[in-house]
Amino acid sequence: MNLSYWEYKTWLSNIDFTIVGSGIVGLNCAYYLSRKYPKAKILILEKGILPQGASTKNAGFACFGSISEIVSDLKTDSQEDVQQLVRSRWEGIQLLRATLGDTKMDFQQHGGHELFLKEQTELFNDCAESLSEINNLLRPVYGEDAYYLHPNLFNFNKINNQYISSRFEGQINTGAMMNSLLSLVVNAGVQILNSITVTSFDENHGGVKVYTNQFELDTRKLIIATNGFAAQLLDEEVKPARAQVLITKPIGKLEIKGTFHLDEGFYYFRNIDSRILLGGGRNLDFKTEETSEFGQTELIQNRLDSMLREVILPHTDFEIEHRWSGIMGVGQTKRPIVKQLSENLICGVRLGGMGIAIGSLVGKELADLS
């Protein structure tokens, strides 16, 4: 790209911090950097015309761990580690709420419910037996008992007649949350350039040279917040994981309210605008879904359709309005990678399926490291 003097001088010179990726992590990082260094020039480079990974594609659950996840984690991790993981998610949501305010992201705390398929009686029994142990473990986080048994009030089909519910789980409007974050950051003086793909970078004395599909620039520090795409720029253990979603047309008198986890979290659904949003099914074909290409597959979409028809809305007519996918970043552990890679290079990636809960904290940690 042949840039003018003005373009170069205004947008691409004397940059203190360049952040790659305008997802929830990159935007929070920019916001906290602008507070820490009010005079700094902060630039975000984003390859999509909108954020184009997971943050504008997700299901909008403000969740902290369903009971089967916690039971499973306790088999491999210490009680302290499990408590700390849940605490980080809980505190992360409180930070996001404090940053944006509940109204701006339509935060609603209707509670969350884990449903167990009829054939998962053993898993249900294990979880039900662990209820008081887990409530005791997590009382220091929530301040009171979080999990309880809940009758099948929403008349789901083919499931155990009790859910195990969490009173603290909430939901947000993902689009509103991201739009508010973008405004916050732009109002703080951060420049965001869209449709710019960072292709590589070179560290040099006192800074980093950044190469993109359009231009090159020099920056004092480079912060990589590209989550599921991280392996394209960094040698870190992050794999892409595609997640497919659908949403129904509005359903008259939809009684279902809350966030729902099914089949050990491999499926998730919620109410939004009198519709059901449903995602999941990656476990049907992990290999194909280990991709950073957006798209839908017949296998998974058919399974989502039958889940809706047979389990979630067995007595209601519905039509699907829209289907999409997003790309998550996953790895061997659930913990994100937040670290200084060299003097002027930092990364915050691998947010897994919990980026709404921990995205703000990770962004803030990146700013603290800078």
Ligand X SMILES: Cc1cc2nc3c(=O)[nH]c(=O)nc-3n(C[C@H](O)[C@H](O)[C@H](O)COP(=O)(O)OP(=O)(O)OC[C@H]3O[C@@H](n4cnc5c(N)ncnc54)[C@H](O)[C@@H]3O)c2cc1C
Residue 112 contacts ligand X per CB under 6 A: no
Binder to ligand X among 190, 359, 366, 367 (CB under 6 A)?
359
Token readout for 124 is 């249900």
Strands 42-45, 15-20: pairing is parallel
| Distance spanning both ends of the chain, measured CA to CA | 30
Q: Which of residues 272-301 bind ligand X (CB under 6 A)?
A: 279
Instruction: Give backbone dihedrals phi and psi of 193, rounded to 5 degrees, phi first.
Output: -110, 120
- Residue 349 parent element (H or E): strand 345-349
Query: Closest separation between CB of residue 336 and ligand X, Å?
Result: 8
Write the binding mask 245 to 274 for ligand X: x where contact by CB under 6 A, - elsewhere. x-----------------------------
Query: Closest separation between CB of residue 107 and ligand X, Å?
Result: 13
Residue 46 contacts ligand X per CB under 6 A: yes
d(Cα 244, Cα 324) in Å, to the nearest integer? 6
Query: Closest separation between CB of residue 363 and ligand X, Å?
Result: 8
Residue 95 contacts ligand X per CB under 6 A: no
Residue 226 contacts ligand X per CB under 6 A: yes
Token readout for 151 is 């009758």
Residue 33 contacts ligand X per CB under 6 A: no
Binder to ligand X among 152, 191, 194, 197 (CB under 6 A)?
197
Residue 354 contacts ligand X per CB under 6 A: yes
Binder to ligand X among 21, 65, 207, 258 (CB under 6 A)?
21
Residue 330 contacts ligand X per CB under 6 A: no
Q: What 3-state DSSP class applies to 249?
A: coil
d(Cα 267, Cα 259) in Å, to the nearest integer? 11
Binder to ligand X among 17, 60, 116, 130 (CB under 6 A)?
60
- Residue 275 parent element (H or E): strand 275-280
The partner residues of 219 in beta bridges, in order of sequence, read 15, 208
Residue 184 contacts ligand X per CB under 6 A: no
Note whether 154 and 165 are within 8 A (CB). no
Residue 366 contacts ligand X per CB under 6 A: no
Distance of CA 77 to the CA centre of its chain: 22
- Residue closer to ligand X (CB basis): 123 or 233: 233
- Listed ranges 23-31, 70-78, 98-106, 155-163: which one lies at the site for ligand X (CB under 6 A): 23-31
Query: Closest separation between CB of residue 71 and ligand X, Å?
Result: 20
Query: Closest separation between CB of residue 249 and ligand X, Å?
Result: 19
**Alpha helix locations (H) across the chain?**
5-11, 24-36, 67-76, 79-100, 102-105, 121-142, 174-187, 286-289, 298-307, 355-369
In the chain, the amino acid numbered 362 is: V
Instruction: Give backbone dihedrals phi and psi of 279, rounded to 5 degrees, phi first.
Output: -140, 170
d(Cα 47, Cα 60) in Å, to the nearest integer? 22
**Total binding residues for ligand X by CB under 6 A?**
44
For 11, 107, 275, 313, the CA distances from 174, given in Å and listed in that order, are: 29, 10, 15, 23
Residue 114 contacts ligand X per CB under 6 A: no
Residue 92 contacts ligand X per CB under 6 A: no
Q: Residues interacting with ligand X, by CB under 6 A?
A: 20-26, 45-48, 51-55, 57-61, 63, 197-198, 225-229, 232-233, 243, 245, 279, 326, 328, 351-357, 359
